[in-house]
Amino acid sequence: MAGRHYIYSQAMIKKFIRKILGVKEKSESGNNIDSGKNKAQNKPKVLGAKEHGIDPQLVSNNAIRVTQTLQENGFKAFIVGGAVRDLLLGVKPKDFDVATNATPEQVKRLFRRAFIIGRRFQIVHVMFGQDLIEVTTFRGASKNEAPKDEHGRVLRDNTFGEQHEDAVRRDFTINAMYYDPASETVLDYHGGIADIRKKTLRIIGVPELRYREDPVRMLRVVRFAAKLQFSIDAETRKPIPVMAPLINNVPSARVFDEMLKLLMSGHAMACLQQLRKEGLHHGLMPLLDVVLEQPMGERFVTLALANTDERVRQGKTVSPGFLFASLLWHQVLEKWEAYKASGELSIPALHLAADDVLNTQTDALALQRKIGSDMRDIWAMQPRFEKRIGKSPYKMLENSRLRAGYDFLLLRCASGEIDSEIGEWWTAFIQGDEAERVRLLSIKPKAKTSDAPAPKKRRPRRSNNRRPKTTAGE
């Protein structure tokens, strides 16, 4: 600790000597900075507690611990990004990020459970039990020699810099503010406070260049606009229709992560409608046009996403497999009917349809194997719900995916795709005792819910050695 304070003192002495001699300072990124005009331009608007109105009770104790530890060791440290935006909106953030002038290695040394991750830009995950605080070093101006692909997308950029440079590198003005829990001040470099009050989403810098650097920002525009119910600034929106194809050059895993955030934002339907409005669904979910133009399909997707949004608001878990199974169901249904029309039996036809849809979407969205498997299980269970005789329903009760398949069945009933009677029957069977289940099995189903062939009844075989009937008491 003494050595660290000695180094910090030495740095302060050097800075003082440079000031006396009139020597220009050098930033951590290696660029010369004039202590006069440029410094004034890079000075943020500082807002006190009365001006910004952030409730300290909404701030994570662990985020405060991280900023405090870094500051006590001579570093700058601020809560940054979406957390500050949510605090200014009076919402308790789900995640807290911290920005600092400490390098990843310096951050790692200060915390017992800290892990450096990332290739494109290194960050540190500081763990407090299950709580994760993400710590990033101030990013400097992107260097021309930083690795890029043929479309201009930055592949790796570990350039560190000063705080005002870091603010420039962030995507939107509302995400480029810094909050210091110790002084309860907010640093605003790009008019983020004003944009929050105007409910406007505005990208920092030249939109075309920012989208080319990282095309995923176009998906983030949609998500934030829908989630926050903000309007998109005209200049920010203008290039999106033209530059939308650049998303095809982004690794599928990153696109999938962003799509998952979009769908689990608690405003999934609004996000998808915004996605469609901006023309960004082509290549990701081209079926959205077809689904939302069909009354039954639109109702099904609307119900599924409303269910997801409600679970998110209640703090319940949401299954990505169930979500994507719902979004892609009517594509499966269309192909299923086509295979049956060509002569395939119902069950094999369903499996072929599922294969077709999953193969296509795996390429577009990088669906993980586990998610794809869950989707397939949910779809495959649907014809099995039609078999309400013998031991089949009892076997369904033993299926580990019963709850997901059953919830999916109820969506199909609610949307009008199939008769609600089948959903009511299964609700009673799942919740009922043994006597109730026996009674339900004795009820003849009203009608089939698909054109799957009914099982042929076998005539009981007669035995030549049948015993004669006996009367009671014999």
User: Are residues 159 and 29 in contact, defined by beta-carbon separation less than 8 angstroms?
Assistant: yes
Share of the chain above pLDDT 70, in %: 77
Place 431 in a pLDDT band, splitting at 50, 70 and 90: very high
Please give the pLDDT value at position 4: 42
Helix (H, G, I), strand (E, B) or coil at 153: coil
Confidence tier at 455 by pLDDT (50, 70, 90) = very low
| pLDDT single digits (tens) 34-43 | 334 445 457 8
Give the residue-averaged pLDDT of 100-120: 92
Q: Is 171 a catalytic residue?
A: yes
Catalytic-labelled residue, pool 86, 166, 171, 195: 171
Alpha helices in 384-419 (DSSP H): 392-397, 402-414
pLDDT at 313: 85
- Give the per-residue pLDDT at 345: 94
- Taking residues 158-166, what's their average pLDDT? 88
Q: What's the pLDDT at 352?
A: 96
Any idea what the Cα angle at residue 385 is, between residues 320 and 365, rounded to 5°? 25
User: What's the CA gap between 245 and 132, in Å, rounded?
Assistant: 34
Rama region for 184: left / alpha / beta (φ>0; ψ in -120 to 50; rest) = left
User: What is the model's pLDDT at position 287?
Assistant: 54
Round the average pLDDT of the chain to a whole number and report it: 82
Q: What is the pLDDT of residues 192-239, one digit of tens each?
A: 999 999 999 999 999 999 999 899 999 999 899 988 999 999 999 999
| Average pLDDT of the residues in 129-143 | 87
Single out the catalytic residue among 95, 214, 257, 407: 95
Q: Where exactly are the structural domains of the chain?
A: 10-41, 46-198, 199-293, 320-441
Q: How far apart are alpha carbons 438 and 103 in whole angstroms? A: 68
The CATH code belonging to domain 320-441 is: 1.10.3090.10
Whether the CB-CB separation of 124 and 108 falls below 8 Å is answered with: yes
Check: pTM over 0.75? Answer yes or no. no
Distances (CA, A) of 419 to 48, 184, 322, 410, 441: 60, 58, 21, 10, 18
Q: Which of 86, 97, 166, 188 is catalytic?
A: 97
List the structure tokens of 466. 């049948």
Based on the residue annotation, tell me whether 95 is a catalytic residue of this protein.
Answer: yes
* pLDDT of 456 strictly over 60: no
Half-sphere exposure of 330 (CA within 13 A, CB side): 24
* 241 pLDDT more than 50: yes
Q: pLDDT by residue (tens digit) across 262-304?
A: 888 888 888 888 888 887 876 666 556 655 666 667 788 889 9
CATH, range 46-198: 3.30.460.10
Q: Of 112, 105, 111, 169, nearest to 139 (Cα)?
A: 169
Give the end-to-end CA distance of the chain in Å, rounded to a whole number. Answer: 99
Q: Do the domains at 199-293 and 320-441 have one common CATH topology?
A: yes
Architecture of the 199-293 domain:
Orthogonal Bundle (1.10)
Between residues 30 and 359, the one the model is more confident about: 359
Residue 466 has pLDDT above 90, yes or no: no
Cα separation, 145 vs 211, in Å, equals 19
Query: How many percent of the chain have pLDDT more than 90?
Result: 55
Q: Which residues of 99-136 are buried (b: 16+ CB within 10 A; e: fewer)?
A: bbbbbbebbbebbeebeeeeeebbbbbbebeeeebbbb
pLDDT of residue 33: 35
Answer yes or no: 451 catalytic.
no
